[in-house]
């Protein structure tokens, strides 16, 4: 029966080609869109975690209540001792400290709020990866009066590598303080909200500028499993000094809400894609079988039984489904690889929304997975077979004379 089914598939090349093309296209699009949307979710999460909330942050409880105001009066004291305790936890993979402070800068006659962040460049190497994100100049080193400025902010201020950035702000005690920083480099993290309003400087210089000796505004942590952040934070809270708290990323209402919405939208989109693909395959297979009513009538007139005829049509659908799904999987793999390595550039679009606070990247890449490709391949085969069941049963029950007349 397999040889007969294969011969039937190959005999009418035009019909088989059009049917297989629909199946292959559906499989290819499912793999591509699944890869791309998964990548968007992963990119959004990683961008927000890297640039803002981490997996867990340790902060002063009073700072947490007024975080949007960046209060320098509520900080983490003896932060180096606290970091040592945090590094002892086996779930923690990275610990670093940061100081965030606000600065008003005059840009073309207008005051623009700018975010300064004091960091330890050595510890941040595996987080922000600033040394590899320079579009001009180089990354600063610890203990220097140097800075790196976001690409959008540098354009607004008319800065280039080698220039001097003058920073005037309030200290933790409310007095004015100023500092001249040499612009060592211009960076682009590919995140509009960071590149357009942020500059980084050595942690020690930020402490000196803000009168924060042995203090930081937050300690930033990455852990082995981000989904267990709440559990790890609960354990860390038992070890922290009074007045400090470990805050998991899930406690960030905006991020949690954003991820929930994105996952919901992803589910709806993927369900729509599957339904559309299944209906495409169903309609194609149904039309392919119905076009063969005369042929089916001839086979029944020659004595082929209903069960055998139904199995033959389903076997033909299986052969066609395997071949078409394989071709679709190859096309989907190529698209998935491209979107996972090169990505899709939205720079032009996000340049129109420069001051948006959401960490939207310029380039979005897919999340390549052989499981996704295998699932798409198997899905094409299953849908092809299922789509052939109804027309196969209908064709098998047709009387030979009716089939001949219908043709």
Residue with tokens 């922000």: 128
Q: How far apart (Å, rounded) are the C-alpha atoms in residues 173 and 175?
A: 6
Cα distances (Å, whole numbers) of residue 19 to 43, 316, 324, 332: 36, 12, 8, 18
- Helices and strands (DSSP H and E) totals, the chain: 14, 14
Does the pLDDT value for residue 209 go beyond 80?
yes
Q: What residues pair up with 386 in beta bridges, in sequence order?
A: none
Average pLDDT over residues 112-119: 91
Q: What is the b/e burial string over 227-253, where b = at least 16 CB atoms within 10 angstroms of the residue's CB?
A: eebeebbeebeeebeeebbbbbbbbbe
Average pLDDT over residues 184-191: 88
pLDDT recorded at residue 349: 59
**Nearest CA to 366 among 331, 334, 389, 326?**
334
pLDDT recorded at residue 361: 60
Does the pLDDT value for residue 203 go beyond 90?
yes
Are the C-beta atoms of 361 and 190 separated by less than 8 Å? yes
Tokens at residue 37, please? 């949307």
pLDDT recorded at residue 224: 92
Tokens at residue 323, please? 């071949």
Express each pLDDT in 57-115 by its tens digit.
999 999 988 988 899 999 999 999 999 999 999 999 999 999 999 998 876 666 778 99
Of the ranges 149-158, 165-174, 198-207, 246-255, which one carries the lowest mean pLDDT score? 246-255
Better pLDDT: 353 or 312: 312
pLDDT recorded at residue 291: 67
If pLDDT is split at 50, 70 and 90, which confidence band does 358 have?
low
User: Hey, where are the domains in the chain?
Assistant: 2-48+257-406, 71-216
Express each pLDDT in 32-62 by its tens digit.
988 888 887 777 777 777 777 789 999 999 9
pLDDT recorded at residue 352: 57
**Nearest CA to 245 among 218, 226, 225, 215?**
218
Spatial neighbors of 49 by CB under 8 A, at least 6 apart, are 55, 222, 226, 249
Express each pLDDT in 252-276 by its tens digit.
756 566 666 766 776 777 677 667 7
Does the pLDDT value for residue 326 go beyond 90?
yes
Does the pLDDT value for residue 389 go beyond 80?
no
């Amino acid at each position: 029966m397999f040889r007969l089914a294969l011969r039937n598939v190959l005999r009418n090349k035009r019909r088989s080609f059009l049917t297989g093309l629909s199946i292959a296209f559906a499989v290819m699009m499912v793999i591509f869109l699944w890869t791309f949307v998964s990548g968007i979710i992963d990119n959004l999460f990683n961008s927000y975690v890297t640039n803002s909330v981490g997996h867990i942050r340790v902060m002063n409880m009073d700072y947490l209540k007024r975080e949007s105001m960046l209060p320098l009066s509520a900080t983490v004291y003896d932060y180096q001792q606290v970091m040592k305790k945090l590094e002892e936890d086996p779930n923690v993979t990275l610990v670093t400290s940061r100081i965030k402070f606000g600065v008003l800068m005059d840009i073309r006659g207008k005051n623009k709020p700018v975010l300064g962040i004091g960091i330890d460049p050595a510890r941040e190497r595996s987080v922000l990866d600033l040394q590899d994100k320079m579009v001009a100049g180089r990354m600063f080193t610890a203990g220097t009066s140097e800075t790196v400025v976001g690409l959008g902010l540098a354009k607004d201020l008319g800065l280039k590598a080698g220039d001097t950035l003058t920073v005037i702000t309030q200290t933790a005690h409310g007095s004015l303080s100023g500092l001249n920083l040499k612009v060592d480099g211009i960076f682009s993290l590919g995140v509009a909200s960071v590149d357009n309003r942020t500059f980084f400087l050595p942690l020690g210089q930020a402490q000196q500028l803000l009168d924060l000796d042995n203090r930081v505004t937050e300690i930033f942590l990455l852990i082995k499993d981000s989904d267990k952040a709440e559990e790890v934070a609960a354990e860390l809270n038992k070890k922290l000094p009074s007045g400090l708290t470990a805050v998991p990323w899930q406690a960030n209402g905006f991020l949690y809400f954003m991820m929930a919405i994105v996952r919901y939208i992803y589910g709806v989109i993927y369900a729509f894609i599957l339904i559309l693909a299944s209906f495409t395959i169903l309609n194609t297979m149904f039309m392919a079988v119905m076009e063969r009513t005369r042929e089916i009538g001839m086979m029944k007139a020659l004595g082929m039984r209903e069960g055998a005829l139904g199995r033959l049509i389903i076997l033909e659908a299986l052969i066609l489904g395997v071949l078409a799904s394989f071709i679709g999987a190859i096309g989907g793999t190529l698209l998935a690889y491209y979107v996972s390595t090169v990505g899709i550039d939205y720079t032009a679009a996000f340049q129109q929304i420069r001051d948006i606070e959401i960490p939207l990247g310029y380039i979005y890449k897919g999340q390549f997975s052989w499981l996704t490709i295998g699932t798409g391949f198997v899905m094409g085969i299953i849908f092809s077979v299922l789509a052939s069941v109804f027309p196969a049963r209908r064709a098998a029950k047709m009387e030979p004379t009716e089939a001949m007349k219908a043709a």
